[in-house]
Structure 1
Amino acid sequence: MDSHGDSDMFDPIVLAEDRFRGKGYQEGFTEGGHLGETEGRRYGLANGAKIGSEVSFYKGFAFTWKCLLQKNQDAQKNSKRLKVLNTLLEMVQRFPYEDPTYDKLQEDLEKMRAKFKQICSLLNVQPACQNATAAGMSF
């Protein structure tokens, strides 16, 4: 027997490690992709719900105060307050609820938070935006 014939007999054994490593890598890659997608979806739902609750709180707060101030007789005093409330309501209206890839999401949220703080200062109120689950609501 020549040495070339002997090495051919052991080739499947020698190459088995490479074959199994490649197969294991591919299976791990596929499984990791599925787990990452599942975890990403769960994370997105949780954060989306938090952001939705926060923006909805701002909308309800601004709308309620707008109605209350419009019924008040002191229109001169309330004009600045109403203007800021309308600005917040416009920000809420323009918020891209349907676009999860919106690149200025955090920036717009920070602007809304700042506007909300400004309104609270103008109204001299100290409300707290509660977590939806703490309030007993569920989605």
Structure 2
Amino acid sequence: MASDFDLETLVDLEQTFYDSGYEDGFAHGRIHGLIEGRALGREKGFEMWEELAFYEGFARTWQAILTGLGRDDDRAAHHIRHLLDLIAQFPRVNPSTADSSSELDILKLSRQIQSRYRALCSTLGVKPANIRASGTTPDADSPEPPAAADSDTPRRQPVWKIEATSF
């Protein structure tokens, strides 16, 4: 009696199913990874450009103010020019798909822009806003936390008087 049953296929059965599942899972993960990667890239890119737009708007506003006051050659104007130059160096296209021969360190350039912004704020005597590409922006409507009772720090007075109203 001849047996048509091959025991060798049973020995490799588990590995065969594992390999098949791995190939299917890898292909599925690649598709979803590309979709999620693009969505995350759009989100982080938007946050980064939102931060840069804030810095550029801040610099251009103060540039117009200083030009109107006739102070185009002082220290603040120098910081403004350098800040705008750094922002102009920021790539406008995805550097991974553009010319790969130019090695641009985006994080280093971003830190330089943030440092120049803080230097400009210091020169102008303006408190720098906590703008970071992490998505945290200052909320003008949020109340300031109360000062501790034993703290020597005086509470800041609000700029606008807020009257209680009922709705």
Q: Does 1:81 align with 2:81?
A: no
Q: Does 1:93 align with 2:88?
A: yes
C-alpha separation in 2, matches of 1:133 and 1:7:
72
Partner of 1:71: 68
Root-mean-square deviation (CA, aligned residues, Å) is 2.6
Shift of residue 13 of structure 1? 3.8
The 4+ residue runs of structure 1 with deviation greater than 4 A are 5-8, 130-135
C-alpha separation in 1, matches of 2:121 and 2:108:
20
Partner of 1:124: 125
Q: 2:41 aligns with which of 26, 44, 63?
A: 44
Assess if the C-alpha contact under 8 Å between 1:53 and 1:132 holds in 2. Answer: no
Partner of 1:108: 109
Structure 1: runs of 5 or more not aligned: none
Q: Deviations over 1:87-136 (max 9, x none)?
A: 1011111111313436401100000000000000000011423859888x
C-alpha separation in 2, matches of 1:119 and 1:89:
11
**Letter matched to residue 65 of structure 2:** L
**Letter matched to residue 89 of structure 1:** L
Shift of residue 11 of structure 1? 3.9
Larger RCO, structure (CA 8 Å, separation 6 or more): 1
Q: 1:22 aligns with which of 19, 24, 29?
A: 19
**Letter matched to residue 34 of structure 2:** E
**Letter matched to residue 41 of structure 1:** R
Q: Deviations over 1:6-64 (max 9, x none)?
A: 48533444443332221111001111212222222122111111100000111100001
Q: Which region of structure 1 is more displaced relative to structure 2, 99-108 or 80-89?
A: 99-108
Identity %: 28
Q: 2:50 aligns with which of 50, 53, 75?
A: 53
- The 3-state SS of whatever aligns with 1:98 is coil
C-alpha separation in 1, matches of 2:54 and 2:47:
11
C-alpha separation in 2, matches of 1:43 and 1:63:
30
Structure 2: runs of 5 or more not aligned: 97-102, 140-167
Assess if the C-alpha contact under 8 Å between 2:59 and 2:83 holds in 1. Answer: yes
